[in-house]
Amino acid sequence: MSLFEKEFEDYFKKKKIKFKRNDRSLPGTPDFSFQNGAIVLFLHGCYWHGHNCKEWKLDNIWRSRISVTASKDIKIREQYLEQGIKYIRCWECEYKKNKDAQFKKIEYILSRY
Ligand SMILES: [Zn+2]
């Protein structure tokens, strides 16, 4: 488990928010899911998921690997939208910039369901 995941897990525990980790019955195995799969949270590392926040120096092999991951991510998101499941994505860079804002955002969404 990465620090990124661990910090979220600790936060949810502290807030007594019930979650499920890596539920394989859901598309793409979300990092966290809530309320019996009504809400899913994906934590995306910027490098692996090809975030456009940086000019990544990649060779062609990595470039194609990461573009496969990015197109998978899009398909997974579409599946959730079709099923009416709330999809939340958190980019690593946004999280590092302001952890509190990301936690608050997720808490707000959870409170509305
Ligand atoms: Zn990023």
Instruction: Write the pLDDT tens digit of every residue in 11-42.
Output: 999 999 999 999 999 999 999 999 999 999 99
Residue 85 token pair? 């499941």
pLDDT digits (tens, 9 = 90+) for 72-101: 999 999 999 999 999 999 999 999 999 999
Sign of the torsion formed by the C-alpha atoms of 80, 85, 81 and 83: positive
What is the distance in A from the centroid of ligand 1 to the CA of 22?
Answer: 22
What is the distance in A from the centroid of ligand 1 to the CA of 108?
Answer: 22
pLDDT given for residue 41 in this prediction: 98
> What radius of gyration, in Å, describes the C-alpha atoms of the chain?
14
pLDDT given for residue 2 in this prediction: 86
For residues 86 and 79, what is the distance between their CA atoms, to the nearest angstrom?
Answer: 11
What is the distance in A from the centroid of ligand 1 to the CA of 102?
Answer: 14
Say which CATH number the domain at 90 has: 3.40.960.10
What is the distance in A from the centroid of ligand 1 to the CA of 52?
Answer: 6
pLDDT(1) > 90? no
**Is the full-model pTM beyond 0.85?**
yes
| Total tally of structural domains belonging to the chain | 1
What is the distance in A from the centroid of ligand 1 to the CA of 79?
Answer: 23
Domain that holds residue 39: 3-11+18-111
What is the distance in A from the centroid of ligand 1 to the CA of 66?
Answer: 14
Residues 6+ apart with CB under 8 A from 70: 49, 50
For residues 69 and 48, what is the distance between their CA atoms, to the nearest angstrom?
Answer: 7
Residue 23 token pair? 């539920």
Query: Is the CB of residue 50 less than 8 Å from the CB of residue 67?
Result: yes
pLDDT given for residue 113 in this prediction: 82
For residues 51 and 21, what is the distance between their CA atoms, to the nearest angstrom?
Answer: 23
